[in-house]
């Protein structure tokens, strides 16, 4: 446990200093190539869990420290150890002993006694410490105060369910490729492989427990893809037909690109401004045996990549706060700032305005985000419609939506899917 605590603590310290969790973990894997898969899994679990519960754990720690702790690695070590003591089944004496050993090797080593004292005090009074931390909403819901406040005003009835869903483990959902199999046939294959799962609709299967894709039958032959149920809505809303031309304007890593190509025989251009992420589109296309024209470019400046031929369909799955997928990336809760939202909204408006002239007459543009903040969603879509009188907002067919429901295009995170927003426009 010593090495997992040490590396998990360092990773959480990097995230609290502003680095995103995926990058911080990738750096750990690169500099520690000898870690066994069990150790990697443990580090990952501790980091994700700590960041999911950070509001509560910080609330507990504040009560145990006489003054703020200025050594980031020591603070992160205490955070992960309190997380382990409260939320995991590992033996408490091992957690404490190993954390003390890590502290002895951290910075000047002075924190050894402090870590020992704080963790033992936590064990002595944990029920009361947790109760007091939960008296505050940041501690109770483990989200920043500004986020809780915005959710309350945007969703007076649903806000609490959204915050609770954000702290759960995300579901693992598959999309079957109908060219290879059906939901029922694939469920039978999963059952034969001892993987418990059930159908969500005619394409989506939700697994009872996440598994490595290595265990999914025919995954590498493209029979299924991993894709959240809420993300599977995009290709359905696009109303795709054979022979159409489609621009997937923010395509990487290509989940929706592959779905579009599985849904109809279309000619697709996949654009993304990030070359390394475009490589992932290429890899995904190869796995599902589909082709597309890949372009690296900025969707908000088409003059640098556009050849002048309008598209029948455009998917604008724009960069956003990703607050609808916070349970998959719990670092988002602590890295986002309230004023990031207006910046995203400006960037989204720029992309939409630049793409609209590229839609052919009678063509459609689908605006999509994985955000739950109205400023990036309903407000963005309404402002776009006002700026473009030839853009007609279309109603979303219930048949395309999870359980037939959305709040004007907004999907809120539930046990079955993440948070997404969709607005569909046709050009008159």
Residue 5 vs 232, nearer CB to ligand SAM: 232
402 is in an annotated binding site: no
Q: Confirm if 280 and 226 have CB atoms less than 8 A apart.
A: no
Shortest gap between Cβ of 288 and ligand SAM (angstroms)?
A: 13
- Regarding 317 and contact with ligand SAM (CB under 6 A), the answer is yes
φ/ψ of residue 173, rounded to 5: -125, 145
**Residues 288-307 close enough to bind ligand SAM by CB under 6 A:** 298-300
- Regarding 256 and contact with ligand SAM (CB under 6 A), the answer is yes
Q: Which position among 81, 165, 247, 252 is part of the footprint of ligand SAM (CB under 6 A)?
A: 252
254 is in an annotated binding site: yes
Residue 75 vs 175, nearer CB to ligand SAM: 175
272 is in an annotated binding site: yes
- Regarding 253 and contact with ligand SAM (CB under 6 A), the answer is yes
Report CA 279 to chain centroid distance, whole Å: 20
* Helix%, strand%, coil% for the chain, nearest 5: 50, 15, 35
Only one of the segments 11-19, 148-156, 203-211, 254-262 lies at the binding site for ligand SAM (rule: CB under 6 A); that segment is 254-262
Sign of the alpha-carbon torsion through 7, 12, 14, 15: positive
Please count the CA atoms within 13 angstroms of the CA of 384 that sit on its side-chain side. Answer: 32
In order, the DSSP letters of 209-265 are S---GGGSTTGGGTSEEE--TTTTHHHHHT---TT-EEEETT-TT-HHHHHHHHHS-
φ/ψ of residue 410, rounded to 5: -90, 125
Please count the CA atoms within 13 angstroms of the CA of 16 that sit on its side-chain side. Answer: 23
255 is in an annotated binding site: yes
* Structural Rg of the chain based on CA atoms: 23
Shortest gap between Cβ of 148 and ligand SAM (angstroms)?
A: 24
Task: Answer yes or no: 47 catalytic.
Answer: no
Shortest gap between Cβ of 277 and ligand SAM (angstroms)?
A: 5
Rounded Cα distance, 176 and 179, in Å: 9
Shortest gap between Cβ of 279 and ligand SAM (angstroms)?
A: 11
- Regarding 99 and contact with ligand SAM (CB under 6 A), the answer is no
Q: Which position among 274, 340, 408, 416 is part of the footprint of ligand SAM (CB under 6 A)?
A: 274
256 is in an annotated binding site: yes
The residue sitting closest to ligand SAM, measured at its beta carbon, is 250
- Regarding 319 and contact with ligand SAM (CB under 6 A), the answer is yes
Per-residue x/- marks for ligand SAM, 103-122, CB under 6 A? Answer: --------------------
CA distances from 250 to 37, 44, 179 (A): 33, 28, 26
CA-based nearest residue to 75, from 45, 99, 39, 94: 99
Report CA 375 to chain centroid distance, whole Å: 19
Shortest gap between Cβ of 253 and ligand SAM (angstroms)?
A: 5
251 is in an annotated binding site: yes
Residues forming the site for ligand SAM (CB under 6 A):
231, 250-256, 271-274, 277, 298-300, 317, 319, 351
User: From the annotation, which residues make up the binding site for S-adenosyl-L-methionine?
Assistant: 250-256, 272, 298, 317
Residues with catalytic roles: 370
Q: State the binding site.
A: 250-256, 272, 298, 317
């Amino acid at each position: 446990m010593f090495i997992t605590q040490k590396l998990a603590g360092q990773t959480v310290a990097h995230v609290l200093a502003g680095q995103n969790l995926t990058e911080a973990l990738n750096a750990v894997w690169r500099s520690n190539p000898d870690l066994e898969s069990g150790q990697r899994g443990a580090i990952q679990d501790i980091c994700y869990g700590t960041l999911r519960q950070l509001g509560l754990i910080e609330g507990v720690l504040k009560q145990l420290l006489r003054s703020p702790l200025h050594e980031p690695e020591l603070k992160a070590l205490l955070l992960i150890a309190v997380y382990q003591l409260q939320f995991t089944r590992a033996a408490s004496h091992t957690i404490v002993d190993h954390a003390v050993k890590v502290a002895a090797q951290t910075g000047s080593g002075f924190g050894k006694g402090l870590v020992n004292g704080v963790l033992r005090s936590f064990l002595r009074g944990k029920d009361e410490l947790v109760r007091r931390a939960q008296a505050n909403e940041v501690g109770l819901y483990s989200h920043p105060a500004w986020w809780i406040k915005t959710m309350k005003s945007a969703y007076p009835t649903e806000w609490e369910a959204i915050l609770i869903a954000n702290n759960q483990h995300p579901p693992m959902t598959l999309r079957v490729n109908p060219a290879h199999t059906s939901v029922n046939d694939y469920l039978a294959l999963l059952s034969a492989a001892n993987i418990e799962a059930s159908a969500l609709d005619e394409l989506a299967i939700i697994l009872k427990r996440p598994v490595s894709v290595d265990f999914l039958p025919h995954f590498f032959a493209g029979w299924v893809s991993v894709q959240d149920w809420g993300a599977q809505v995009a290709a359905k809303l696009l109303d795709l037909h054979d022979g159409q031309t489609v621009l997937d304007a923010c395509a990487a890593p290509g989940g929706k690109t592959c779905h579009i190509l599985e849904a109809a025989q279309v000619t697709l251009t996949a654009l993304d401004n990030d070359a390394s992420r475009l490589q992932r589109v290429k890899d995904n296309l190869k796995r599902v045996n589909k082709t597309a024209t890949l372009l690296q470019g900025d969707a908000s400046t088409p003059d640098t990549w556009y050849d002048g031929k309008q598209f029948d369909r455009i998917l604008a799955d724009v960069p956003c706060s990703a607050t609808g997928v916070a349970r998959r990336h719990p670092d988002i809760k602590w890295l986002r700032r309230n004023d990031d939202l207006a910046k995203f909204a400006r960037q989204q408006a720029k992309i939409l305005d630049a793409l609209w002239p590229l839609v052919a007459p009678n063509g459609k543009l689908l605006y999509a985000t994985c955000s739950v903040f109205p400023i990036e969603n309903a407000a963005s879509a309404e402002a776009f419609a006002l700026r473009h009188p030839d853009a007609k907002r279309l109603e979303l067919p219930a048949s395309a939506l999870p359980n037939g429901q959305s709040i004007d295009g907004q999907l809120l995170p539930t046990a079955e899917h993440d948070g997404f927003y969709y607005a569909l426009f046709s050009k008159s």
